[in-house]
Amino acid sequence: MTAELGFVLYKPRMADNVGGVARALVNFGFSRLVIADPKTWHFDPRSAVKAEHVLDKAYMALDLPEAIAPFSWVCGTTSRRIRRRPALSPAEAGAEAARRMAAGASVCVVLGSENHGLTDEDLEKCDAVCRIDTFAEQPSINLAQAAAILAYEMRKALLEERPPRELAQAATREEIDRLVVFAREALLAAGFLNPQQPDKILGELRRLLVRGEPTRREVELLSAATKQVQRAVR
């Protein structure tokens, strides 16, 4: 089960920190690592003690959308409080990830760069936000520490027994993104969206859709419906 959960490092700056994250993942039984737009594309395997295989198999993505495209549910991390975005604790994020994975979804956790973390724009691309609540006088923790905390909570949640349930194939992020593109055109044509600022409302609608955990079949139906609406209002 743990192989289905991925960790995405977006714009990491130091190769040693990437190795430290790989080691932290292996500590808790994970191995799926995605590295997006790093400052260097060369990583010293010596920094990943007994986790060299994680670096060797890591997927290298050019940007954040490419990195998170294969996942159904994406949880971004931050140390900041984001207006109008309630934050999950690491334990809550772990419980939600485990619940979704039990239903057949693929899940990933995104960690930002060491100096700035994830921006508001980056977090808009995420379906949920997780905040590690640290002591105010020393709030910052390094990348590997954050990864270890999150990996521990994810593993703990995944090991909890849950009643079996019938699985339906969850829609991927790529499929949901295509639906949002169709919806954008249809809602603009219908006059529902502000042409100068459509993405704010679309972001809220997208998060509402993801909370419903749609299957591939449901997303296909909604995509067909939005295309028909677009044709009808032309």
In the chain, domain spans: 2-159, 173-233
Q: Which of 166, 182, 163, 175 is nearest to 210 (CA)?
A: 175
Q: Which of 210, 195, 201, 35 is nearest to 107 (CA)?
A: 210
What are phi and psi for residue 232, nearest 5 degrees?
-70, -30
**What is the third-level CATH fold of 173-233?**
Helicase, Ruva Protein; domain 3 (1.10.8)
64-107 residue pLDDT tens:
999 999 999 999 999 888 877 889 999 999 999 999 998 888 99
Q: How far apart are CA 124 and CA 32, in angstroms?
A: 23
CATH of 2-159, one of 3.40.1280.10, 3.40.50.300, 3.30.300.130, 1.20.140.10: 3.40.1280.10
Q: How far apart are CA 182 and CA 177, in angstroms?
A: 9
Q: How far apart are CA 133 and CA 114, in angstroms?
A: 17
E strand or H helix at 158, and its extent? helix 143-159
The helix-helix angle for 143-159 and 90-102 (nearest 10°) equals: 50
Question: Percent of the chain scored above 90 by pLDDT?
Answer: 49
User: Per mean pLDDT, which of 29-33, 115-119, 163-167, 221-225 is the most reliable?
Assistant: 29-33
Instruction: Return the pLDDT at 164.
Output: 56
136-165 residue pLDDT tens:
888 788 999 999 999 999 999 999 876 655
